[in-house]
Structure formats: structure tokens, C-alpha cells
Amino acid sequence: MPGNKTVSDSHIFQFKNCRILRNHSIFVEDLWVRDGKIIDPEKLFYVEKGYADFQIDCKNAIIAPGFIDVQINGGFGIDFSSNFDDIEGGVQKVAKGILQHGCTSFCPTIISSSKEVYKKVLPKIKIKAGGRDGAEILGVHVEGPFISKEKRGAHLLENMATYDNGFSDVLDMYHDISSVRIVTLAPELPRSLDVIREFVDRGVVVSLGHSMASLSQGEEAVKHGASFITHLFNAMLPFHHRDPHLVGLLASYKHPPDLRIIYYGIISDGIHTNPCAERIAHRTHAKGSVLVTDAVAAMGLPSGTHRTGTQMIEIQDKRALIAGTDTLCGR
């Protein structure tokens, strides 16, 4: 058999004794990789006459695509919305830390904040390729402040805002949206449809959440370009048989013909969302399901009380609560 240098200048890796996730099932077989891409071993053997330069024993571990987290507020003691001393270093610390949990790309999420905070933080978080030093930074998710006061959850009331003057208020609030890739807003706010259309035209995914919206208001938002729902079931009106509210978007027939899928984030931790509710959502609209952590700075910290940004958070029984309350604030 010829040396691999006659086949390719790149090394070929054979992962042995591994389980592979493919088409929603687990298979026991080897995996062959060259230049970071999976290759067909039959072509390697019989056409290229090549072989593995390195064999790696996976010891029955599962090899699967890396996780993508589109809603993560921080972790390992870092809060993206308040880590002003070293914003870039804080983001990188989280990017490095989540690799050990199988997350290979993420959207640092900034919760409802003041203009001054956005001006400090948003220009400092840059889109960045991933590698062994950290997960890929896909862009920022700004969750608020254009959300419902009644459904603000752990967001501070004094940071709530409206866009009565349209998109000019958005730009005035955020200052720099060059790295923003997702925005969560409440579609029932005045001028929302204009704002949604402008965000979509700029390549930003509009997600509906922290909202008192009816189903019809959600459907109008989708017609204008919204395509995502932020942490389904949480911080929104519950399903009702006469008005299913935003939850009803999973089964609505009024979506534009060119928009095939409405995606929805769901916090599948058994705390934010009951497993029964998760199954209802998945059986209703499986293709739109997107698991998110909604992790906060307390992720990776021990039980007890911790300061994250301007708030005190208490970790008890795997729950992250605003200290002294029963209000969940991520995980």
C-alpha cells in the first residue's frame, strides 16, 4: 500500500470504537477524517489506496456535530451584559469553557440594558471563527430591551424601552449593530412591524419573546419577517384554546409561502419547561425545535449566592433564581 503522501498531503485520522449519530440514530462504526472533513473509507481504500496516519480509540464515546447555542447570557462567572473590565476576555473565557460541553459555536446574549451598556459592550463582541481555543462566535443575540414589561422575567423594569419613532430608536439604543445576528422583541409594541422588516432587511434574525402578544399579532410579525420564538412557553402568555398566543405559531397555517419553518428555542432542563410541554412542542413542530441553555454567569459555579452583573443569583437544586424570589433567571 502506498504511503499517504502519494495520496494526499493531509493526515488521515481513523476514529475507532465510536458511536456515530446519523439520521437521528446511533450507529457503531469507525469514522474517517481528512482536512477536517468526513471521508468515505471505501474510496480511500479501493480508489486512493490510502490508509490512516493516526488511529484514535474513542472507547465507545459518541461522535456528533457540535452544539450551537443561540441564547447564552454568560457562564463561569462571566456576565456578557456587565463584564465591562475585560469584555473580550470574558467572552473568550466562556467560549473556551463551553467546548468541554460539546458546544462549538454560540451567540453571546445581551439582556435588556441601558444605552450606555450597549455602547460599551456591542462593539467589543466580534464575530470570530472557532478552534481549540474556543467556540465560534456567530454574532450577538440582543434579548430586549424592546419587550413587554409584564413579561420581562428577570429583566430590569428600568431598562424596558419602546421604538415609537421606529428603527431610529433601535439605532439610538444599540449604537452599533454590526455584530448583531438575533434580536428578541415583543411584536405587540407599536411600530414593531416596521422594525421587524428593517431588521430582516439588514440580515438580523427577529425572534418573538418576552411578550403579551396574541396569535394574530404573532402571525403578522411572521408575515413581516420574524422567524424565531425565544424560549418557548417562558415569558409569554400560555396556550389557550381560544387564543393560543405565540405558542400557536407552531401550528399556524398563515405563514408566508416562502417561509417554510418557524424555529423556536426551548430550554430543555426539566425546570423551565416541563418534559410533557417539550414533547407537545416537538410532536407539533419537530423541525423547528432549537435547544438553548439560556445560561447565566452562574453556569459552572457551585450552589449558593453569586453576584452576576447588577443582580444577586441564588443557585439551589440546579435552579438559578433571582436571590430571595422564585423567579428563574436562566440556568
What is the DSSP code (8-state) at residue 249?
A: G
* H runs (alpha helix) in the chain: 41-42, 87-97, 115-121, 167-174, 192-201, 215-223, 275-284
pLDDT tens digits along 126-149? 999 999 999 999 999 999 999 999
Q: What is the mean pLDDT of residues 145-156?
A: 96
| Measured distance between the N- and C-terminal CA atoms of the chain, rounded to whole angstroms | 53
- Please give the annotated binding residues for Zn(2+), written as ranges: 143, 210, 231
Q: Is 58 helix (H, G, I), strand (E, B) or coil?
A: coil
Out of 35, 294, 317, 326, the active site residue is 294
Which residue would you say has higher pLDDT here, 106 or 4?
106
Distant-in-sequence, close-in-space partners of 205: CB < 8 Å, separation ≥ 6: 181, 182, 183, 227, 228
pLDDT tens digits along 282-323? 999 999 999 999 998 888 777 888 776 667 888 877 777 888
Which residues share a beta bridge with 63?
A: 20
pLDDT tens digits along 165-205? 999 999 999 999 999 999 999 999 999 999 999 999 999 99
pLDDT band of residue 1 (cuts 50, 70, 90) is: very low
Q: What is the mean pLDDT of residues 267-290?
A: 95
Residue 121 CB: number of other CB atoms within 10 A? Answer: 25
- Strand 25-28 and strand 19-22: the pairing is antiparallel
Distant-in-sequence, close-in-space partners of 138: CB < 8 Å, separation ≥ 6: 68, 70, 105, 106, 107, 127, 181
Cα separation, 228 vs 286, in Å, equals 14
C-alpha cell at 107: 451567540
Is there a catalytic annotation at residue 294? yes
The CA-atom distances, in angstroms, between 283 and each of 235, 242, 253 are 22, 21, 16
Q: Which domains does the chain have, with CATH numbers?
A: 12-63 (no CATH), 67-292 (3.20.20.140)
What pLDDT does 309 receive?
63
Cα separation, 104 vs 88, in Å, equals 18
pTM above threshold 0.85: yes
C-alpha cell at 91: 467572552
Residue with cell string 424596558: 160
- Strand 25-28 and strand 31-34: the pairing is unpaired
What pLDDT does 257 receive?
61
- Please give the annotated binding residues, written as ranges: 143, 210, 231
